[in-house]
Amino acid sequence: MLSVLDLFTEAEPAWTPDAIAQRLACSLPTTYRYVRALIQAGLLRRAAAGTYVLGTRLAELDFQMRRTDPLLRDGDGALRALCEDTGCDVVVAEVLGDRLITVQQLHGSEGVSASFGRGRRMPPFRGMLSKTLLAGLTRPALRRLHAAHAAEAAAEPFAADFDTLVANLRRIRADGYAVSVGELDPGLAGIAVPLPRPGDGGTAALGVILAKRRFSTTDVDAMVRRLRRAAEDVVREVEARAAG
The whole-angstrom separation of Cα 7 and Cα 24 is: 9
Q: Are residues 11 and 78 in the same domain?
A: no
* 3-class DSSP state of 197: coil
Q: Are residues 10 and 117 in the same domain?
A: no
Q: Are residues 93 and 156 in the same domain?
A: yes
| Residue that is last in its domain, among 11, 41, 59 | 59
| Residue that is last in its domain, among 36, 59, 82 | 59
CATH number of the structural domain spanning residue 25: 1.10.10.10
Q: From residue 82, give the alpha-carbon distance in Å to each of 146, 163, 236, 238.
A: 32, 35, 15, 16
Beta strand pairing call for 188-196 and 89-96: unpaired
pLDDT at 10 over 90: no
Q: Are residues 43 and 119 in the same domain?
A: no
pLDDT at 172 over 90: yes
Share of the chain above pLDDT 70, in %: 100
Question: Looking at the domain assignment, is residue 120 inside a domain?
Answer: yes
CATH number of the structural domain spanning residue 132: 3.30.450.40
pLDDT of residue 152: 94
Q: Where residue 161 falls among pLDDT bands split at 50, 70, 90? A: very high
Q: Are residues 197 and 173 in the same domain?
A: yes
Give pLDDT tens digits for 128-145.
Answer: 999 999 999 999 999 999
Q: Are residues 198 and 101 in the same domain?
A: yes
Q: Are residues 73 and 118 in the same domain?
A: yes
Q: Are residues 45 and 85 in the same domain?
A: no
Question: Looking at the domain assignment, is residue 28 inside a domain?
Answer: yes
pLDDT at 151 over 90: yes
What is the pTM assigned to this prediction?
Answer: 0.87
Question: Looking at the domain assignment, is residue 231 inside a domain?
Answer: yes
* 3-class DSSP state of 12: coil
Phi/psi for 101 (5° steps) reads -125, 135
Give pLDDT tens digits for 223-237.
Answer: 999 999 999 999 999
Q: Where residue 31 falls among pLDDT bands split at 50, 70, 90? A: very high
Q: Are residues 116 and 173 in the same domain?
A: yes
Share of the chain above pLDDT 90, in %: 82
pLDDT of residue 200: 77
Q: Are residues 114 and 173 in the same domain?
A: yes
Residues of the domain holding 55: 2-59
* 3-class DSSP state of 10: coil
Question: Looking at the domain assignment, is residue 64 inside a domain?
Answer: no
Q: Where residue 34 falls among pLDDT bands split at 50, 70, 90? A: very high
Q: What average pLDDT does this structure show over 14-36?
A: 96
Q: What average pLDDT does this structure show over 146-163?
A: 95
The structural domain count of the chain equals: 2
Q: Are residues 75 and 148 in the same domain?
A: yes
pLDDT at 25 over 80: yes
Q: Where residue 91 falls among pLDDT bands split at 50, 70, 90? A: very high
